């Protein structure tokens, strides 16, 4: 039933995506984080206190998310159809394939009109960097990097954990990733409170990110891009990022397309230097957004197939 739920949830994600009116669990997770953070800040404001409290924030958020999902997932265990439906919906909400494509294509369509100002606003919805002064190539680079990184965070990792522990573990991963997105930034406000969330997110993504290099390279091969170069750059430039994971997926995409990613960006008013990723065989262009989406879709399909084969192989041992 778990396998069927994953396939059904994956299909729902491809068809429906994330409707704005849908009561998405990430909103609940975000509200829970906000509530616990307010409680913490009323209790302590010291650097040491906030760093310790960050572990409490992580434990409460991930623990409540896992337990609630486990309860809901098993509430209808008495009826196979109801159980399948509920678990499929829960798995579906952890995936972001169509959402990534839709949001990136909004940027693509605006760029095609030549409206840079609107494109800067559009890309600001999906990245954490300052987009005020980005030019066309920088907007495309930011979009491609986001698709590449979130292919792991929003597709490969949730599927990986879903195959291991069903909807509860996939949703727990989603809580870990959401914590990192909200409090994991190394700015003044969250430097201490977000320490635990940032570090644990790195651990949770360690295996999926490394699987992602292979899966993105295979996806590149499937849609006609450079498989060998994708694998080579993904491995070669894996350390060219402050995160121990992000450069792997970005490198795989950069290698597949023969472009260069990375470089200095502005975050929260501060210039953050990042090494470049990939070789500039050619200049990055608007169509690279479409190409990266093709790689994302192909790698997601390959991921679910390979994870299924491993699942049945391990189950048969």
pLDDT of residue 108: 97
Measured CA to CA, the distance from residue 234 to residue 232 in angstroms comes to 6
Token pair listed for 133: 């002064």
pLDDT of residue 2: 85
> Which ranges of the chain would DSSP assign to H, the alpha helix?
2-16, 25-43, 47-75, 80-94, 97-113, 116-124, 136-151, 157-183, 195-204, 206-222, 227-236, 246-257, 287-316
Hey, is 275 helix, strand or coil? coil
Q: Would you give the DSSP letter of residue 266? A: E
CB atoms closer than 10 angstroms to residue 165 = 16
Token pair listed for 55: 């572990």
Please state the separation of Cα 109 from the chain's center in Å: 23
Measured CA to CA, the distance from residue 25 to residue 239 in angstroms comes to 33
For 49-97, what is each residue's pLDDT tens digit? 999 999 999 999 999 999 999 999 999 888 999 999 999 999 999 999 9
pLDDT of residue 188: 85
Contact yes or no for 209/299 (Cβ under 8 A): no
pLDDT of residue 255: 98
**Positions of the chain with pLDDT lower than 50, given as ranges:** none
For 159-184, what is each residue's pLDDT tens digit? 999 999 999 999 999 999 999 999 98
Q: Would you give the DSSP letter of residue 272? A: E
Token pair listed for 2: 């778990």
């Amino acid at each position: 039933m778990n396998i069927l739920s994953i396939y059904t949830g994956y299909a729902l994600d491809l068809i429906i995506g994330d409707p704005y009116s849908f009561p998405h669990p990430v909103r609940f997770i975000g509200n829970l984080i906000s509530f616990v953070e307010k409680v913490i800040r009323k209790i302590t404001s010291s650097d040491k206190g906030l760093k310790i409290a960050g572990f409490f924030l992580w434990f409460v958020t991930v623990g409540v998310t896992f337990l609630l999902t486990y309860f809901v997932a098993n509430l209808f265990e008495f009826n196979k159809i109801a159980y399948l439906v509920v678990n499929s919906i829960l798995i579906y909400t952890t995936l972001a394939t169509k959402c990534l494509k839709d949001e990136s294509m909004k940027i693509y369509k605006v760029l095609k009109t030549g409206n840079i100002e609107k494109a800067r606003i559009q890309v600001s919805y999906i990245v954490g960097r300052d987009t005020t002064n980005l030019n066309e190539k920088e907007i495309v680079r930011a979009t491609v990097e986001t698709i590449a990184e979130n292919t792991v965070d929003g597709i490969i990792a949730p599927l990986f954990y879903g195959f291991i522990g069903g909807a509860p573990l996939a949703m727990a991963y989603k809580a870990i990733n959401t914590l990192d997105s909200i409090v994991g930034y190394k700015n003044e406000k969250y430097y201490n409170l977000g320490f635990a969330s940032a570090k644990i997110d790195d651990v949770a993504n360690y295996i999926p990110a490394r699987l992602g290099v292979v899966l993105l390279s295979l996806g590149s091969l499937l849609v006609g891009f450079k498989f060998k170069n994708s694998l080579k750059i993904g491995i070669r430039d894996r350390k060219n990022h402050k995160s121990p994971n992000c450069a792997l997926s970005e490198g795989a995409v950069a290698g597949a397309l023969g472009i260069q990613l990375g470089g200095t960006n502005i975050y929260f008013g501060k210039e953050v230097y990042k090494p470049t990723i990939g070789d500039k065989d050619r200049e990055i262009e608007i169509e690279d957004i479409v190409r990266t989406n093709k790689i994302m879709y192909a790698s997601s399909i390959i991921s679910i197939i390979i994870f299924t084969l491993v699942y049945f192989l391990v189950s048969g041992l």
